[in-house]
Amino acid sequence: MQPARKTVTVHAWPQDQYLAVQALRSAQAMAVISIATPATENRQVARSLVRSALREALAALLDRPAVSIVLTSPPGGAIYADSSVCQLSLSISHSPGVSIAAICQGAAIGIDVMQIEAITPGYPEWMRLAGEYLGPRVTAKLQSAPSATFPSAFAQVWTDFEAALKCLGLGLTEWSPELARQLAGCRVLALDLPANCCGSVATRAHVLEHHTHSTLNEP
């Protein structure tokens, strides 16, 4: 898994609906949308809102009524859309106040979002998580990060990690050399989000190369 060095456009839904659908129909074959949700840890409303947005986006892409789009989310598994027209990969992530969703044609995809303010004081605890899940190289970088930038640095590498796991269809897994080899097969990019959030999207195909603009965003 390579550090995120580019940012991917996030389309606000429904305001940027046209742009999101155009991205899906283009050579990019991928779009990321954001949906404003209640600022609470209770995700019931957020899940309903993001699924409604996904149905609307897929309906526009497939030229079908939104009510005909069937989304399935098996326990412990990734959400997917039943479609005989094209291969579609979906991924969703929630944070209080915002949910994000990625749609991709022809490639597995994973997405994750995190509020930077969620990285509360307690440096040893976060470093313990880094050591267990992010591996020695990333942990060493975090140890050298200034305290003022540590929350954003941790949030970025953690969402990189979570997005890549989702792309590979894996649950939260402690770091190992074998896991590192699997993660290395993912292309991970940062999301263009407000300053209080970090997010990442991961894919195992080249589609993201057409959907980004250059920026330095390395922890």
The pLDDT tens digits along the chain (219 residues) read 444 457 899 999 999 999 999 999 998 889 999 999 999 888 899 999 999 999 999 999 999 999 989 898 877 778 888 766 568 899 999 999 999 999 998 889 999 999 999 898 778 899 999 999 999 999 999 999 998 999 999 999 999 999 999 999 999 999 999 999 999 999 999 999 999 999 999 998 554 444 443 222 222
Paired tokens of 182: 């699997």
Domains detected in the chain: 6-214 (3.90.470.20)
Would you say 11 and 34 are in contact if contact means Cβ atoms under 8 Å apart? yes
Distances in whole angstroms, Cα of residue 46 to Cα of each of 36, 66, 87, 96, 119:
8, 18, 25, 9, 22
What was the pLDDT predicted at 215? Answer: 26
DSSP-based three-state secondary structure for 93:
strand
Q: Cα(149)–Cα(202) distance, rounded to whole angstroms?
A: 23
The distance in angstroms from the start CA to the end CA of the chain is: 14
Angle (CA) 49 50 56, round 5°:
95
Which residues have CB under 8 Å from 115's CB, separation 6+?
A: 95, 96, 97, 155, 196, 197
CA 119, CA 121: separation in Å to the nearest integer?
A: 7
Instruction: Give the list of residues 6+ apart from residue 176 with CB closer than 8 angstroms, or none.
Output: none
Asked if 23 and 31 count as a contact pair (C-beta separation under 8 A), the reply is: yes
From CA 73, how far away is CA 81, in angstroms rounded?
9
Write the pLDDT tens digit of every residue in 72-123.
887 777 888 876 656 889 999 999 999 999 999 888 999 999 999 989 877 8
Inter-CA distances, 182 with 70, 161, 171, 189, Å = 31, 11, 13, 17
Separation between Cα atoms, residue 85 and residue 31, nearest integer Å? 18
